[in-house]
């Protein structure tokens, strides 16, 4: 998997992802859809990543 970051000169990316402030994150599914609510701030982003990892681990166990 690759990690991507979106940068902007104006507000187009912030508006598209409803992400106002720094740091801010959303999960994007492999097919390019927004897969989470916006997480704003370091603590919220850590929680978002923890939930995503936990969900991926559960799915991996379920399909094993």
User: Residue 21 has what pLDDT?
Assistant: 80
What region does 23 belong to: left with phi over 0, alpha with psi -120 to 50, or beta? beta
Unique residue bearing structure tokens 């929680």:
47
DSSP reduced 3-state for 24:
strand
User: Residue 25 has what pLDDT?
Assistant: 87
Q: Are 39 and 27 in contact (CB under 8 A)?
A: no
Alpha helices in the chain (DSSP H): 12-17, 42-63
Q: What is the mean pLDDT of each run of 10 residues along the chain (64 residues)?
A: 71 78 85 89 94 90 82
pTM of the entire predicted model: 0.70
Q: How many helices (H) and strands (E) does the chain have?
A: 2, 2
């Amino acid at each position: 998997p690759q990690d991507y970051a979106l940068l902007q000169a104006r507000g187009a990316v912030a508006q598209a992802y409803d992400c106002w402030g720094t740091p801010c994150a959303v999960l994007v599914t492999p097919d390019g859809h927004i897969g989470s609510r916006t997480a704003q701030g370091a603590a919220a982003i850590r929680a978002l990543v923890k939930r995503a990892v936990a969900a991926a681990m559960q799915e991996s166990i379920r399909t094993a």
